[in-house]
């Protein structure tokens, strides 16, 4: 235990002086290995770092990011918003509900909450402000709704978790469906309550004709990802293969169906996807170094043992892990939190007989909340920047939506059937 | 320095963009062949290698754009002189780490001579060359930032666009 705390302390110290997290992990692992084994260990380290970046299942990440970026450049955000507007616009606080509804739809295309809030927020937040919504309210509802992107498949954090915990990404995807929809409904309920308090307007009245016409327009953007997810769930294709097909579908929608995708957009989408992949994969690669060392000194097992001395109760362990991840979420980016912490706590999770898919869902929702809680809160920052409000002003409203997300987290944690029901039904 | 960095970044963009496209095409071709009943034996091994290449060359581009995931919040709050000093230390640590990785990456080359990938006769030396080459590319990018820090040509710490890029994953 002492060794582990020392290592994490060293990593933390480096991160705090603004060494990139990936490099901090590498430096600490390298130093620890050289101290234990001498300089002869260096060649192995290079090979470990290289091998860390060659995981086939992780290939799904660049491809899903690319698919999302292309879809977004193809004019689908606008169409999904129009469709959501025809469905939810008539309720009091119409645009707030539209934001949540459009995020629900966008979530089945995108695996990233920041991509989600950037794509939809840049249209909806100014829209809400012009209709008299207080800016913090507009930013808060968009920010918390974007969390649905990581809960509803596909989800980049889920792919990372599945690889780190050596569990099924497909089952984890399926586990996210019901909690994602429940979360969306909960956020809408809260938005309604706030809409009454702020006396927010409705949009145009409900009409089936508008639902049909906007639905037809958004059909392809909507249908192709569902078909691909169906293929993944049915076992026709793996998650990685499905991700490649999602890129094909995105190109089809952008170039052939809507014809709004330009070469410049495509180039930008490719580069964005590549850079976002590289920064996370470098983290994966250098964490393999630290992982090798921790395994050698049996640190994760020591942690599992120490906690099991204290309690063996599955629900207490889950409560502890929830607190840990909520806390981490405030200070770490979600990819970093998963890569750093999941391999360390997995022996504990198994020892407490916690289903790894269940735990994966819990981690994902936790880190989704972490993107909303300052000081380090990527999604909140993007939403606040678009609304031109301070993150603290937005947080004062967002706290209500965060409460909804925490309620979903508790529901998923202590009523496991919420997430695992579909998984049990289809796969077990 | 900014002009050099822009040109350098542009060059890396071509390399990394090409890798991303090749990766996508390779996986797609692999899927199509598998679904039509003619699985390609080399498809997943080659795809994994491409992912590693994308990771390390992409990291070089991320270094140019300051997009690596980090935590500049605390250092940004420090007084200017301390901030500058800490940034320089951090920069030197990054350069040192990749220098070690690069040098050892070259040293292991003779050991790997003669080895190839399992499914295709591509020499391991070519595959693993990504480590020293990308380490060098990263060091060049980080040195340009270091020079800016030392000469005070640019405010230290990450640019907003870099952070936004790195955050895009969540």
**pLDDT on residue B158:** 45
Across residues A191-201, what is the average pLDDT?
93
**pLDDT on residue B96:** 96
Contact B16 A278 (CB under 8 A): yes
Across residues A185-196, what is the average pLDDT?
96
Across residues A189-207, what is the average pLDDT?
92
Across residues A18-23, what is the average pLDDT?
92
Across residues A189-212, what is the average pLDDT?
92
Q: Which chain A residues are Cβ-neighbours of B56 within 8 angstroms? A: 53, 278, 282, 285
Q: Which chain A residues are Cβ-neighbours of B97 within 8 angstroms? A: 23, 26-27, 30
Q: Is the pLDDT of residue B102 over 60?
A: yes
**pLDDT on residue B155:** 52
| Closest C-alpha to A241, from B44, B1, B134, B139 | B44
Q: Which residues pair with B116 in a beta bridge?
A: B123
More confident residue, B56 or A75: B56
Could you tell me the maximum CA-CA distance found in chain B, to the nearest angstrom? 64
A275 and B CB contact within 8 Å: yes
Across residues B76-88, what is the average pLDDT?
89
Q: Is the pLDDT of residue A416 over 90?
A: yes
Q: Which chain B residues are Cβ-neighbours of A382 within 8 angstroms? A: 164, 167
| Closest C-alpha to A393, from A384, A404, A401 | A384
| pLDDT tens figures, A138-167 | 999 999 999 999 999 999 999 999 999 999
CA of A369: which chain B residue's CA is closest? B170
**pLDDT on residue A23:** 94
Average pLDDT, chain A: 91
CA distance A301 to A294: 10
Q: Nearest by CB to B168, which of A58, A112, A248?
A: A112
CA distance B51 to B64: 20
> CB within 8 A of B53, min separation 6: which ones?
B19, B130
| pLDDT tens figures, A365-398 | 999 999 999 887 889 988 999 999 998 999 999 9
- End-to-end CA separation in angstroms for chain B: 32
Q: Is the pLDDT of residue A424 over 60?
A: yes
Are A164 and A342 in contact, with CB atoms under 8 Å apart?
A: yes
CA distance A122 to A106: 14
Q: Is the pLDDT of residue A266 over 60?
A: yes
Q: Is the pLDDT of residue B166 over 50?
A: no
B123: helix, strand or coil: strand
DSSP letters, A25-89, are HHHHHHHHHHHHH-GGGHHHHHHHHHHHT--GGGGHHHHHHHHHHHHHHTTHHHHHHHHHHHHHT
Q: Is the pLDDT of residue B159 over 70?
A: no
Whole-prediction pTM: 0.88
Q: Is the pLDDT of residue A282 over 80?
A: yes
pLDDT band, very low/low/confident/very high, at A113 (cuts 50, 70, 90): confident
**pLDDT on residue B168:** 41
Percent of chain A past pLDDT 70, that is, above it, reads 100
Q: Is the pLDDT of residue B154 over 70?
A: no
B88 and A CB contact within 8 Å: no
- CB atoms under 10 Å from CB of A327, counted, come to 14
Contact A279 B31 (CB under 8 A): no
| pLDDT tens figures, A7-17 | 888 998 998 89
Across residues A341-359, what is the average pLDDT?
92
Are A254 and A73 in contact, with CB atoms under 8 Å apart?
A: yes
Give the tokens for residue A94. 């119409």
Q: Is the pLDDT of residue A417 over 70?
A: yes
Q: Taking each helix axis as running N to C, give the angle between helix A135-146 and helix A378-387, from 0 to 180 degrees, rounded to the nearest 10.
A: 150
A238: helix, strand or coil: coil
Q: For B123, phi and psi rounded to 5 degrees?
A: -65, 140
Contact B93 A50 (CB under 8 A): no
**pLDDT on residue B125:** 87
Q: For A132, phi and psi rounded to 5 degrees?
A: 90, 10
Q: Which chain B residues are Cβ-neighbours of A46 within 8 angstroms? A: 101, 104-105, 108, 128, 131
Give the tokens for residue B78. 């420090």
**pLDDT on residue A121:** 92
**pLDDT on residue B111:** 83
**pLDDT on residue A222:** 81
Contact B71 A18 (CB under 8 A): yes
Which A residues 110-169 touch B at CB under 8 Å? Answer: 112-115, 118, 150, 156-157
Q: Which chain B residues are Cβ-neighbours of A55 within 8 angstroms? A: 48, 51
Which B residues 101-120 touch A at CB under 8 Å? Answer: 101, 104-105, 107-108, 111
More confident residue, A318 or A1: A318
**pLDDT on residue A186:** 97
Are A393 and A132 in contact, with CB atoms under 8 Å apart?
A: no
Across residues B75-93, what is the average pLDDT?
91
Q: Is the pLDDT of residue B165 over 60?
A: no
């Amino acid at each position: 235990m002492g060794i582990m705390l020392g290592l994490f302390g060293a990593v933390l110290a480096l991160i705090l002086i603004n060494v990139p997290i990936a490099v901090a992990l590498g430096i600490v692992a390298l130093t620890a290995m050289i101290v234990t084994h001498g300089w002869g260990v260096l060649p192995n380290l290079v090979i470990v770092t290289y091998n860390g970046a060659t995981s086939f299942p992780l290939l799904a990440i660049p491809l899903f990011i690319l698919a999302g970026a292309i879809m977004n450049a193809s004019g689908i955000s606008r169409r999904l918003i129009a469709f959501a507007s025809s469905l939810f616009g008539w309720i009091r606080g119409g645009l707030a509900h539209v934001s949540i509804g459009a995020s629900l739809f966008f979530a089945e295309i995108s695996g990233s909450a920041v991509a989600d809030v950037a794509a939809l927020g840049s249209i909806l937040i100014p829209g809400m402000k012009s209709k008299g919504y207080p800016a913090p309210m507009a930013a808060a509802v968009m920010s918390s709704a974007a969390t649905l992107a990581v809960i509803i498949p596909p989800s980049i954090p889920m792919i990372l978790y599945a690889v780190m915990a050596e569990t099924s990404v497909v089952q984890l995807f399926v586990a996210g469906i019901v909690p994602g929809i429940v979360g969306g409904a909960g956020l809408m309920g809260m938005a309604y309550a706030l809409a009454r308090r702020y006396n927010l307007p409705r949009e145009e009245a409900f009409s089936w004709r508008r639902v049909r016409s906007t639905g037809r327009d958004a059909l392809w953007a909507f249908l192709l990802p569902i078909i691909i997810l169906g293929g993944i769930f049915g076992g026709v294709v793996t998650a990685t293969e499905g991700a490649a097909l999602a890129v094909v579908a995105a190109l089809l929608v952008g170039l052939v169906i809507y014809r709004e995708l330009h070469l410049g957009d495509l180039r930008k989408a490719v580069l964005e996807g590549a850079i976002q992949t590289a920064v996370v994969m470098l983290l994966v690669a250098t964490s393999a170094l630290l992982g090798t060392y921790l395994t050698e000194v049996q640190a994760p097992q020591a942690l599992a043992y120490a906690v099991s001395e204290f309690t063996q109760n599955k629900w207490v362990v889950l409560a502890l892990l929830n607190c840990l991840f909520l806390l981490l979420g405030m200070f770490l980016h979600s990819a970093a939190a998963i890569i750093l912490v999941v391999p360390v706590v997995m022996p504990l999770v198994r020892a407490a007989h916690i289903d790894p898919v269940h735990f994966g869902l819990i981690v994902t929702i936790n880190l989704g909340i972490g993107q909303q809680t300052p000081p380090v809160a990527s999604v909140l920052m993007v939403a606040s920047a678009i609304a031109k409000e301070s993150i603290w002003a937005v947080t004062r409203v967002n706290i209500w939506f965060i409460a909804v997300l925490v309620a979903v987290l508790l529901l998923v944690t202590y009523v496991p059937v919420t997430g695992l029901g579909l998984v049990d039904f289809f796969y077990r | 320095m900014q002009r050099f960095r822009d040109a350098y970044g542009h060059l890396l963009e071509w390399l990394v963009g090409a890798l991303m496209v090749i990766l996508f095409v390779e996986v797609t071709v692999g899927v199509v062949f598998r679904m039509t009943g003619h699985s390609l034996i080399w498809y997943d091994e080659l795809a994994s290698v491409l992912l590693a290449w994308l990771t390390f060359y992409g990291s070089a581009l991320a270094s140019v754009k300051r997009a690596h995931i980090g935590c500049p919040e605390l250092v940004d709050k420090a007084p200017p002189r301390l901030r500058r000093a800490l940034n320089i230390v951090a920069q030197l640590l990054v350069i040192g780490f990749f220098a070690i990785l690069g040098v050892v990456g070259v040293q292991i080359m003779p050991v790997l001579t003669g080895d190839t990938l399992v499914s295709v006769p591509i020499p391991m030396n070519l595959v693993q060359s990504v480590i020293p080459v990308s380490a060098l590319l990263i060091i060049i990018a980080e040195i340009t930032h270091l020079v800016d820090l030392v000469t005070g040509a640019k405010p230290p710490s990450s640019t907003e666009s870099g952070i936004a890029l790195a955050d895009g994953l969540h």
